[in-house]
Chain A
Amino acid sequence: MQALLSFENAPPFAAPLRFFLTAPAFGVLGGVLLAWFGADIMASRWMPATLALTHLITVGFMLQIMLGALIQILPVVAGANLPRPLLLARVVNVGLSLGTLLLAGGFLHSHPSLLAAGAGVLGLTACIFLGSAALALRGVPTTSPTIRGLKLAMLGLGGVVGLGLILALALVFGWNIPLLQLVDLHAAWGFAGWGGVLLAAVAFVVVPMFQLTPGYPARPSWWFPRVILGVLMLWTLAVLARWPAVIALCQAAAALVGTAFALLTMRLQSLRRRARPDVTYRYWQLGLVAAIFALIMLFTAAVSPAIVDNPRWTIAFGVILMAGAFIPFIIGMIYKIVPFLAWLHLQNCGQAKVPAPAMNKLLPDSEMQAQWRSYLVAFVLLALACLFPEWFARVSGVAFAVANAWLMLTLLRAIRRYRQHTVLILEKLAAR
């Protein structure tokens, strides 16, 4: 019976781990950049350092963990087996890391060839991942909202990467394109079409599973990914046809649909059967509150566009959406995925003869709580920096770097314990 727990579909632990450990390094780098440039970085979204920082976080941190986690969970949540997952993990991890550094360097130094190289490497890496995912998902019937969401999120990734490539080439070759509208569209495909749809698809599974909440009702779950992708396609058409009113309408619709999802998740969390709020719950609570706040800002900007003339508005929106919502969702999930995988691999290592240690022995709650507090401090300082950049920008950068370094340290400790237990289990097996 226990032998059946061995799950041969799961890729080796090293496959997702390399992403989980690389991502905080980009978080540290982002924090250092903010600490270095201080208030200048918060003056406008168009500053070279701001563009560099945005991509260090969105690609270096967020996309890194999202793709790493997908390599791990596609077989589990969709029954889709990626071909050669360890090789894919290596290629994608290196491609994302190199591409992000080149792209950020290109932005920072306004260096066209670095920018083009970064965009090219990231484009190629995304194509490799999307090709593998398409192979894995081909023939997988859409039997759940999660599978539909995963499939449509891949379109979202294609959209954000494609638009990113067009924008990079336009900057390098000086093409005459509606830059502002295309950058907004690039961000919309990234945050809503890729990040939002992927988050929802995964949340449909992990929120009830890890937080012991009721399930997401079926009908809105089926519709959410479709509505978001539909809105983005209309938004794209409106940019091409230069219909500003339709663009604003799409922006408002995306904000409302996203808010509905966040409120539904909050409602489910309020009905959870786990009495004690754990770290994942706290991270998700912050993420949901911040997401709703950011989406209200997005809605406000859609109905009164003059508000975004104030550069602080856009910066605050970005900070709340990324540092307040997406990163907390991601860290919250990492703190469930890593101990569970460590436990699963130890369980398999023990061959049903030597039991694996409990998950909280591998990654104790106290260590995660300490890191969570450091992240909360960083986020509060970042939010204050949006209001008073001269006072808080540098210190918030330092705090953000510390919280990310702490995350890496916490994960490294868990991996060290995992390795120690692997040796112990192998010794016990040998002694039998």
Chain B
Amino acid sequence: MCPIAMAPAAGTGPEAGFRGVIRVSFGTAAVPAAEGSAGMAGHDVRFDAADREALASLIAVLEQARVGVRLILAGPPADVAAAAAAAAACGLLEEEVTLLANESGRRLVFCAHCRTANTTVQGVGSEVDCEGCATTLAFSGHFSRRIGGYLGFAAHAEEAA
């Protein structure tokens, strides 16, 4: 189910019943104009980041759309993953969504101990100090599409104290 459905702010959404391509970019990312738009109407949306407000407005756009629509998400990995999770919750299938995440940029590391979502620009395999419980987390490659982030767990936990 769509977590939050808000009426779209006047003038921001495509017309009701839209079945074209919705191109969403976060930050300075740009969706290549040719991407996935073969003969389909396009609707462009730009957000600074995939924060609560941006996701609510994306969901509102998706609620107005109809089956046949395609979604393209471009930007930092954390933002693309968060938007992809919201789209999946709205009922979009993987084959309807194109993810164009930057190779580097912010990612979410979800703390297994206190459930804080930490944002970091480091990569998989590095260590991140949790903002919630100060545990030094091993940034693992386990990725949750629902959460849109990676699993972080206490690094060095198995080493002799």
Q: Real complex partners, A and B?
A: no
Tell me the A residues contacting B by CB distance below 8 Å. Answer: none
Tell me the B residues contacting A by CB distance below 8 Å. Answer: none
